Chains A and B, each alone.
Chain A
Amino acid sequence: SQQGEEDPQALSIQEGENATMNCSYKTSINNLQWYRQNSGRGLVHLILIRSNEREKHSGRLRVTLDTSKKSSSLLITASRAADTASYFCATLYNTDKLIFGTGTRLQVFP
C-alpha cells in the first residue's frame, strides 16, 4: 500500500452516530496530521499527533496513533450533517513535505 492510505474510502452514517476513519502509512514519522476538505474547497487542519503520542482529543475528535502498526484512526463522535466532507491523513518525517493519503469521503445524513 502507499504511504497514507485511508479506509474506508467512503462512509455514510446518520447524524448522531460516530464515524471512524483509519489511516495506514509505511515509513517512520515525526507526526501525523488529519485534514478535512469540503467539496472543491481548501484543506482545514483538524488535529496533529506526534510520534511519541498515542491518543489526542480535540472537541468531538479523537485521534489514536499506533507506530508499531504504522496506523492511525480518527473518530468523530456525535456526527453532524456539517461534518460531511473528505478526511485526509498526512504524515511528516524529517522533511518539509506532507504526504497525504487517499482520503475518506464521509456523508452524514440528517
Chain B
Amino acid sequence: EPEVTQTPSHQVTQMGQEVILRCVPISNHLYFYWYRQILGQKVEFLVSFYNNEISEKSEIFDDQFSVERPDGSNFTLKIRSTKLEDSAMYFCASSEPDRGGYGYTFGSGTRLTVV
C-alpha cells in the first residue's frame, strides 16, 4: 500500500537553529499538508499546499515557517530560528485530487526536539 515517507524520524536541534523536515507524499496525490502534535495535545493543522503554492495556513504558520516542493517528489517544512515550544511531532499528509474525500494518508512523523 502506498505510504507517505517522512525523514528524519527524530531530529534534535539547538534553539535558534533552522531545521528542514522532509516528506515524500504519495505519487498521484495532489494535496499536501503539514500538521503538528505537541506532546499530549491535539493534532493541529499548519498548512496545505496545492499546485505549488500554499492554499491555506493556520495562525501557527507564521514567518518562521515555510514549505517547498523542490522537485517532483519531495515536500519540505522549514522552521527557522527554532524555539523550545516548536518541540512536537510533525506529520506530513497527502490526499487524493478531491481533497480528503477518501481520507488523508499521514506519514509516521518527525519528532522534533528543540534544546
Chain A residues at the B interface, C-beta cutoff of 8 Å: 4, 30-31, 33, 35, 40-45, 47-48, 50, 88, 90, 92, 95-103
Contact = CB atoms under 8 A, between A and B. Distances in A.
A73 B102 CA distance: 19
Given A41-B108, A96-B33, A100-B44, A31 B101 contact: yes
Contacts of A47: 103
Contact of B99 (A45, A96, A103): A96
A30 B102 CA distance: 12
Nearest to A50: B101
Query: Chain B interface secondary structure, helix, strand, loop or mixed?
Result: strand
B14 interface: no
Contact of B58 (A35, A97, A101): A97
B65 interface: no
B113 to A, nearest CB: 13
Contacts of A33: 100, 103-104
B43 A43 contact: yes
Contacts of B50: 96
B104 A98 contact: yes
A106 B89 CA distance: 21
Contacts of B76: none
A97 B55 CA distance: 10
Contact of B48 (A35, A42, A96): A96
Contacts of A35: 106
